[in-house]
Amino acid sequence: MLNFTSVLKNKIDITVNIQNFNNNFITANLHEIQHLASIIKEKAQVYLVIGVGGSFLGARAVIDALTPYFRSYNGVEVLYAGNNMSGAYLKQLLAYLDTKDIYVNVISKSGSTMEPALAFRVMKDYMEKRYGQTARERIFVTTDAEKGILKQIADKEGYRQFVVPSDIGGRYSVFTPVGLLPIAVAGIDIEAFVRGGRQAELDFASETNSAIDYACTRYALYQQGYSVEILASFEPRLNKLHEWWKQLFGESEGKEHKGLYPSTVNYSTDLHAIGQFIQDGSRIMFETLIHFEDIDGDVDIPFSLDDIDGLNYLSGHSMNDINAISKDGVALAHEAGGVPVIRIGLPKLDAYHVGYLMMFFMKACVFSASLLEVNPFDQPGVEAYKKKMLELLKRNVVKVHV
């Protein structure tokens, strides 16, 4: 199912009590989500997801990985807000939305995160001015079942609500309504996605499995002095999956002055940017290469009578074939340059295998954090910036009113 190749000569010997890693990350009523998604798909031109961090990255990763590069926009276009505090972004978004039929899904487990809360305040006002009383039928709230300001607003306004399970943190929530509702609205087969996740759960419930191998390998490399892990792939639409992975590992492991710094590259674009450093710069990193064997859509290289560019030796081959060969070339070059390469291969870029891969990473991440002896489910460091920002905001607000 998933082909994992370790770079370690000797397996590290770790006794695992797998019971400790039986976290359940899949909780959702698929029928309810599919039913609502089918209604939205009929009516909406834009579905706006308001959320930050784990409250939007999973959905965005899956949607980008599994929808075409150049959309015709006959279906629903999924857009995002509340993941930055740019006024220019919001202003341009509002202008863009003006000519579109829109639905809004605000997602926040705590219900009080500043970025989505501000964006939602702006969007709520916009929706009410534009749609009047019916605005409330176009707004869905995904939050805690019982507590939080967003929950209070949803109750007061009568918005339809979806629950973020209390025991599942944002970055582990892609198999809950947090991820599944936007993914379904984007037209992706959530049943296949969840099936992939469930199969991975089964496969990674044994005492030896590739999620444990991945965690052990990166831990052993960390102990040997490597401080950066670079996640790499050769398909641009995996870009946001990289971002999701970066958050998953960065926020789960980077604490108590420990952890690998998670970094990402997209090849071949980045071979012409940061590739020089990876090949030849400070020897601080190893690389984890993701490869999907079968990717929908391909182009053959045509034969040219004059062959001025000298590329006829590649005619008859497809771009995807060449891309796959270049992946092997890059791995060989980087290994020769002193960058250990872990390989993760999957048969096909589809909903099932993306679900499988994401569950693989979540299981591996929890296990990996346990090797570092840190809690994979909290993020105390994130609070530091919030505290400072609030102090400054409150001081400035006082100044404005003086």
| Closer by beta carbon to ligand PA5, 112 or else 224 | 112
Q: Does the annotation count 251 as an active-site position?
A: yes
CB of 363 to ligand PA5, least distance (A): 16
| Closer by beta carbon to ligand PA5, 82 or else 196 | 82
* Three-state secondary structure of the chain: CCEEECCCCCCCCCCCCHHHHCCCCCCCCHHHHHHHHHHHHHHCCEEEEECCHHHCHHHHHHHHHHCCCCCCCCCCEEEEECCCCCHHHHHHHHHHHCCCCEEEEEECCCCCCHHHHHHHHHHHHHHHHHHHHHHHHHEEEEECCCCCHHHHHHHHHCCEEEECCCCCCHHHCCCCHHHHHHHHHCCCCHHHHHHHHHHHHHHCCCCCCHHHHHHHHHHHHHHCCCCEEEEEECCHHHHHHHHHHHHHHHHHHCCCCCCCEEEEEECCHHHHCCHHHHHHCCCCEEEEEEEEEECCCCCECCCCCCCCCCCHHHCCCEHHHHHHHHHHHHHHHHHHCCCCEEEEEEEECCHHHHHHHHHHHHHHHHHHHHHHCCCCCCCHHHHHHHHHHHHHHHHHHHHHHC
Catalytic residue among 11, 386, 388, 394: 386
| Closer by beta carbon to ligand PA5, 55 or else 209 | 55
CB of 377 to ligand PA5, least distance (A): 8
CB of 247 to ligand PA5, least distance (A): 6
* Degrees to nearest 5, angle at CA 107 with 27 and 229: 75
CB of 98 to ligand PA5, least distance (A): 27
| Closer by beta carbon to ligand PA5, 52 or else 290 | 52
Give the interface with ligand PA5 as residue ranges (CB under 6 A). Answer: 52-55, 108-110, 113, 116, 169-171, 251, 379
Nearest to 167 by CA among 80, 81, 109: 109
| Closer by beta carbon to ligand PA5, 172 or else 292 | 172
CB of 174 to ligand PA5, least distance (A): 11
Q: Is 174 exposed, middle or buried (0-12, 13-18, 19+ CB in 10 A)?
A: buried
CB of 360 to ligand PA5, least distance (A): 18
State which residue has the least CB distance to ligand PA5.
170
Tokens (6 digits) for 4: 């994992």
| Closer by beta carbon to ligand PA5, 164 or else 351 | 164
Catalytic residue among 77, 115, 235, 251: 251
CB of 386 to ligand PA5, least distance (A): 9
| Closer by beta carbon to ligand PA5, 67 or else 110 | 110
Q: Does the annotation count 246 as an active-site position?
A: no
CA atoms of 375 and 111, how far apart (whole Å): 23
Are 59 and 49 spatial neighbours (Cβ–Cβ below 8 Å)? yes
Which are the catalytic amino acids? 251, 386
